Amino acid sequence: MTKNQRLVYIALLASQAVVIGLVERAIPSPFFFAPGAKLGLANIITVMALYTLPTKDTIKVVVIRLLLQTLLGGTLSTFFYSASGAALSFIGMWFIKLLPQKAVSLIGVSATGAVLHNVGQLLIASVIAQTFSVMLYLPVLSLIGILTGIAIGITANYLLTHIERLHYYMDLRTLKRDLI
C-alpha cells in the first residue's frame, strides 16, 4: 500500500463509519425493550480497519470517526460515552486479535468489542451518576451486544473475504506481521 492509498483508505473508512452511524441513528432501534441498546453497525468498519490496517492507522480511523460523529449531532456528554466505549472496545478487540487466527475469528473479536463498548459507556455513566449500580444494566446490554456482535462479525468476515481489495490488504497485513 502506498502512502496515498493508505491515506485515502483511512479517510474512506472513517467517513463510511460516520455515515453508517448516522443512518443507524435515523432508523428506530429494534430493541424497544432495552433503551440504549443499538446495533453498532459502525463497528463493522472498526473491525475491518483492525484487520487491514496497522494499529496506528486503526486508531486514526476510530478517532476521526468519534470526532466527526460528535460534530455531526452529538453533545459533550455523548462524546464522553462514545469515547470511553470506543476506547475500551478497541483495546479489547486489539488484544483478542493478538490470539492466533485459528482460535478466534472475527465473530469473537466483534462480540468482545460490542460488550466492552457497553462496559465503557456504563462505567462513564456510573461515574457521572456517582453510583455503581448503573452497571446492573450491563447484562441486558451485553446480551444484545453479543448477538449483534456475532452478526457484525459475520458481516465483516463476508466483506473481507468477498471484496478483493480488502482481501488483498488483509493478506498484506498478515504477511507483514509474519515477516516481523
Give the C-alpha separation, 86 to 88, whole Å. 6
Q: Does 123 bind other proteins (CB under 8 A)?
A: yes
85 binds other proteins (CB under 8 A): no
For residues 146 and 112, what is the distance between their CA atoms, to the nearest angstrom? Answer: 8
Minimum distance from residue 68 beta carbon to other proteins (Å): 22
Q: Is 119 helix (H, G, I), strand (E, B) or coil?
A: helix
The correct pick among 11, 71, 127, 163 for binding other proteins (CB under 8 A) is 127
Burial (CB count <10 Å: 0-12, 13-18, 19+), residue 38: buried
Task: Specify whether the CB–CB gap between 43 and 153 falls below 8 A.
Answer: no
For residue 61, the minimal CB distance to other proteins (Å) is 23
Select the span of 4-12, 50-58, 113-121, 172-180 touching other proteins (CB under 8 A). 113-121
Between the CA of residue 174 and those of 44, 122, 143, 165, 167, what are the distances in Å?
19, 34, 32, 14, 11
Span interacting with other proteins, options 3-11, 65-73, 127-135, 169-177, rule CB under 8 A: 127-135
Q: Is 108 in the site for other proteins (CB under 8 A)?
A: yes
Positions in the binding site for other proteins (CB under 8 A): 35-36, 77, 96, 99, 102-108, 111-112, 115, 118-119, 123, 125-136, 138-139, 141-143, 146, 150, 153-154, 157-158
